[in-house]
Structure 1
Amino acid sequence: MGNERQARLADRIRVLIAERLEKGLRDPRLGFVTITDVRVTGDLQHASVFYTVYGSDQERADSAEALKAATGLLRSDVGRQLGVRLTPTLEFILDALPEGAAHIEDLLREARERDAAVAGLATGAVFAGDADPYLKPREDDEDDEA
C-alpha cells in the first residue's frame, strides 16, 4: 500500500516538474532538461529528481545551477498542486544513464570488431593436431576382441 502511494506521488511530481520546466523558469542558464525519474522516500518527505541535459558539459553545469537556484520555486509549485499535508524536499540529480548507455554501446561495438577480427583469422586456420582429437579404438583392438 505504501509503495503504491510512493509511486503515485513520484509520478505526479515528475509530471508537475516537467510541465513547469516546459513553461520555462526565466533562467537563461537552463538548457534542454528532461526529467527521467523521481524517487520518493518511504516517509514521503524527500524526492530525488533525476534529469538529463541535452548539450555540452558547460550546458549541463549551467542547468544544474539553474535547477539548484529554482528548487524552492519548484517545490512550492509542486506543493500547491499536490495537495498533500507536507511537501517533500526536492533534490536534483544528474542522471548518468545516457552516458552509461553510450559507454556500453562503445564496448559492444568494440567487442563486435574484435569478434570479426578473430573470425577473419580463423578462416584460413588449420588444426594444430589431428582434425578429430578424440581417441578411437584401433582396428587391431577390434580384431582382438572378436
Structure 2
Amino acid sequence: MAGTNPRAARIAKLIQRVIAASIETQLHDKRLENVTITEVRVTNDLQLARVFWTQLGDEGKEQGERKRATQALRQAKGRLRAAVGAKAGLRLTPELQFMYDEVPSEAHEIEDILATAHKRDEELAKARANAQYAGEEDPYWHNDEPEDGESDDGFDESDDAEDADGFDGFNDADSEADGALIDDTVADGPADGSAVDNDADSDAPDLHSAHEA
C-alpha cells in the first residue's frame, strides 16, 4: 500500500496526476466531466494501483450518473494505463482498479449543511440587531432614584401632609363634639338645681303664714 514503501508512494502520486490530466485533456468524455481522482494506492510489489475517484456536484448524488462514469472509466482503462506507463517509465505498469470514494461526497454534504447553518446564523444575528422592542428594552429594570417629593424610604411627603391634615380634622371634630356635650351639661344643670331648690323651699316653713298667725 502507499505509504509503506516510499517508491510505491511516489508512483501512486504520479499515477494520480497522469490519470487526472488524461481524463481532462485526452478522453473528452462528457460522462467524466465532474470526475475527480481523490487518491491512488499502489501495492509494494507495484502490481496493482487502486484509483479512488468521486463525482462532485449534483451529478455525484444521482446513481445514474455514477454508473455512467463508472462505465466510462472501465472503457478507458487501457488508454489510461498506457498513459501511466509512458509517463512513469516503468518496466511493468501496475494494473488499474477504479473504486468510487464515498468520503468526499459525504464531506461535501457536510460542508453544504455547515454553510447553510452558518448562513442561517448570520440571518438570525441580523434580525436580532434590527429588532425593536414592543415595550421597554428591559422590562425588569426599575429606577431606584427617588422622585421629587418622595423620600428615600419610598413614602411620598405629600401623602404624609395629607394624612396630618386628616388627623387635624378629626381633632377639630372631637373638640367641637366635646364642647357641645359640655354646653348640654350646663344647660341641664340649672333645671336640676331649680328642682332641688323647689324641693328645699317646699320643706322650709312658710314664714308669711306664721306671721299672719
Query: CA shift at 1:25, angstroms?
Result: 0.8
Among candidates 40, 58, 62, match of residue 68 of structure 2: 62
Counterpart AA for 2:41: R
Query: CA shift at 1:2, angstroms?
Result: 6.6
Query: CA shift at 1:102, angstroms?
Result: 5.3
Among candidates 81, 99, 102, match of residue 93 of structure 1: 99
Structure showing the higher helix proportion among its residues: 2
- Structure 1 moving runs of 4+ over 3 Å: 102-106
Q: Give the TM-score, by structure 1 length.
A: 0.65
Question: What's the Cα RMSD here?
Answer: 2.3
Q: Report which of the two structures shows the higher radius of gyration computed on alpha carbons.
A: 2
Partner of residue 210, structure 2: none
Q: In structure 2, list runs of 5 or more residues that go unmatched.
A: 118-213
Query: CA shift at 1:77, angstroms?
Result: 1.0
Cα distance, 1:66–1:28 mapped onto 2, change above 3 Å: same
SS at match of 2:27: coil
In structure 2, C-alpha distance between the alignment counterparts of 1:31 and 1:63, rounded to whole Å: 9
Structure showing the higher strand proportion among its residues: 1
Query: CA shift at 1:24, angstroms?
Result: 3.9
In structure 1, C-alpha distance between the alignment counterparts of 2:32 and 2:76, rounded to whole Å: 10
In structure 1, C-alpha distance between the alignment counterparts of 2:101 and 2:27, rounded to whole Å: 20
Query: CA shift at 1:62, angstroms?
Result: 0.8
1:77 aligns with 2:83: yes
Query: CA shift at 1:91, angstroms?
Result: 0.6
Among candidates 18, 21, 24, match of residue 19 of structure 1: 21
In structure 2, C-alpha distance between the alignment counterparts of 1:92 and 1:41, rounded to whole Å: 14
**Number of equivalences:** 108
Counterpart AA for 1:89: E
Cα distance, 1:103–1:19 mapped onto 2, change above 3 Å: closer
In structure 1, C-alpha distance between the alignment counterparts of 2:54 and 2:5, rounded to whole Å: 25
Query: CA shift at 1:104, angstroms?
Result: 6.1
In structure 1, C-alpha distance between the alignment counterparts of 2:28 and 2:83, rounded to whole Å: 15
1:46 aligns with 2:48: yes
Identity over the aligned pairs, expressed in percent?
A: 47
